[in-house]
């Protein structure tokens, strides 16, 4: 009889212990430090474009630093506005972030129709990502050999000149509009859902030129498929030292820089933003990652969240004035 009672007591004691351990285990799991599952990185343009290419150069080291997979999710449309809307509505838990662009954050809000979001208040800033130039490129088979050739063609009333970009409001689009305003040339803007589709049409001979991002253009230039005409930065870029700037070719003061930055939905807890910022900063200071970025003329530029916010404010002021000055219409 005593043996039976002890057996019952032991059974219930073990069961209670198992339940306690189970609750303890679940509590520990629930409180596991961020991140404890894969992170989704939204890119607002199609695969093969500049933003997508940059993300794929950064993600391997970022995943290593975070200790979790970072899954790129391409959401092209409306020049980056679609992806921005999705991010704004995502859970503010740090598991959905975005590699945004100057177009989404500083140009689109000032375009006709504006945006559904305010870039200065509707997102959590994480860190600056990279900065880089655009490159005016044509096919190697083209008769256009210089910026002067391109401008002259655009002034010929018997020629229909076009230029493509990764979307309305992208720096590629605005770079072309700014050049038209400075030169008096005519060129029809062709809007694409990313740099990849625009490049496909250029290589197919369907458009005259593209103001392409360096990640998209440099490999094709090196492969002999594209001819670079000019860079839109204030200085020549290291990867193409023989390609002059637009400013050097008769248009002083001209520049149209590009940049990508990391942001999150609004109201993400500061501790999570800090963790993401540290991981991105570590990634963008990693020598191997920096070198991969430099190979396509991307400059790693990590920052604090506050520095990014200040930078975005300045960029909004600059692009708003430019858009207004050239009377940019929706195309």
- Please tell me which residue, 91 or 30, carries the higher pLDDT value: 91
**37-41, 76-80, 107-111 — which is least confidently predicted?**
76-80
Residue 6 predicted with pLDDT over 60: no
Residue 40 burial (C-beta neighbours within 10 Å; 0-12, 13-18, 19+): middle
pLDDT band at 57 (very low <50, low <70, confident <90, very high): very high
**Token digits of residue 129:** 């990502």
The H helix count followed by the E strand count for the chain is: 11, 11
Residue 324 predicted with pLDDT over 90: no
Place of tokens 């740099």: 195
Q: What percent of the chain has pLDDT over 90?
A: 67
Residue 200 predicted with pLDDT over 90: yes
> In sequence order, which residues have a C-beta less than 8 Å from that of residue 241 and are 6 or more positions away?
none
Please give the mean pLDDT across all residues of the chain: 89
Res 22: pLDDT: 59
Res 173: pLDDT: 87
> In sequence order, which residues have a C-beta less than 8 Å from that of residue 313 and are 6 or more positions away?
120
pTM for this model (two decimals): 0.75
SS3 187: coil
Res 113: pLDDT: 86
**16-20, 182-186, 265-269 — which is least confidently predicted?**
16-20
Residue 1 predicted with pLDDT over 90: no
pLDDT in tens, 229-270: 999 998 898 889 999 999 999 999 898 888 999 999 999 999
Between β-strands 162-165 and 124-132, what pairing exists: parallel, antiparallel or unpaired?
unpaired
> Are the beta carbons of 80 and 136 closer than 8 angstroms?
no
Place of tokens 């979790």: 68
Out of 41-50, 195-204, 274-283, the most confident range is 274-283
What is the 8-class DSSP label of residue 162?
E
Cis peptide before 35 (omega within 30 of 0): yes
- Please tell me which residue, 139 or 3, carries the higher pLDDT value: 139
- Sheet of strand 162-165, all strands in order from the earlier edge strand to the far edge: 188-191, 162-165, 209-213, 134-139, 226-231
CA distance 199 to 217: 8
CA distance 245 to 156: 23
Domains and CATH numbers, the chain: 39-131+258-325 (3.40.190.150), 134-249 (3.40.190.10)
Res 28: pLDDT: 45
CA distance 127 to 129: 6
């Amino acid at each position: 009889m005593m043996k039976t009672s002890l057996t019952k007591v032991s059974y219930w004691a073990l069961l209670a212990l198992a339940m306690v351990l189970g609750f303890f285990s679940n509590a520990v799991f629930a409180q596991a430090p961020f991140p404890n599952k894969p992170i989704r990185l939204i890119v607002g343009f199609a695969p093969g474009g500049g933003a997508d290419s940059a993300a794929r150069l950064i993600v391997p080291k970022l995943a290593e630093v975070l200790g979790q997979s970072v899954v790129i999710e391409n959401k092209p449309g409306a020049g980056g506005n679609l992806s921005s809307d999705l991010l704004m509505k995502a859970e503010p838990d740090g598991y959905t972030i975005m590699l945004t662009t100057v177009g989404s954050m500083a140009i689109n809000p000032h375009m006709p129709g504006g945006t559904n979001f305010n870039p200065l208040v509707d997102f959590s800033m994480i860190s600056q990502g990279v900065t880089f130039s655009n490159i005016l490129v044509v096919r190697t088979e083209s008769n256009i050999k210089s910026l002067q050739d391109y401008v002259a063609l655009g002034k010929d009333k018997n020629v229909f000149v076009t230029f493509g970009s990764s979307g309305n409001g992208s720096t590629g689009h605005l770079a072309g509009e700014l050049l038209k305003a400075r030169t008096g040339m005519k060129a029809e803007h062709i809007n694409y859902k990313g740099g990849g589709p625009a490049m496909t049409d250029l290589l197919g001979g369907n458009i005259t030129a593209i103001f392409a991002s360096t990640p998209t253009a440099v490999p094709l230039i090196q492969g002999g498929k594209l001819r670079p005409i000019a860079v839109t930065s204030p200085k020549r870029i290291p990867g193409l030292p023989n390609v002059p700037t637009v400013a050097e070719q008769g248009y002083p003061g001209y520049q149209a820089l590009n940049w990508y930055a990391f942001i999150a939905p609004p109201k993400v807890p500061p501790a999570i933003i800090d963790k993401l910022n540290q991981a991105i900063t570590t990634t963008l200071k990693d020598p191997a990652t920096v070198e991969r970025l430099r190979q396509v003329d991307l400059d790693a530029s990590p920052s604090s969240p506050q520095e990014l916010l200040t930078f975005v404010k300045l960029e909004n002021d600059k692009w708003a004035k430019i858009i207004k000055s050239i009377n940019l219409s929706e195309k």
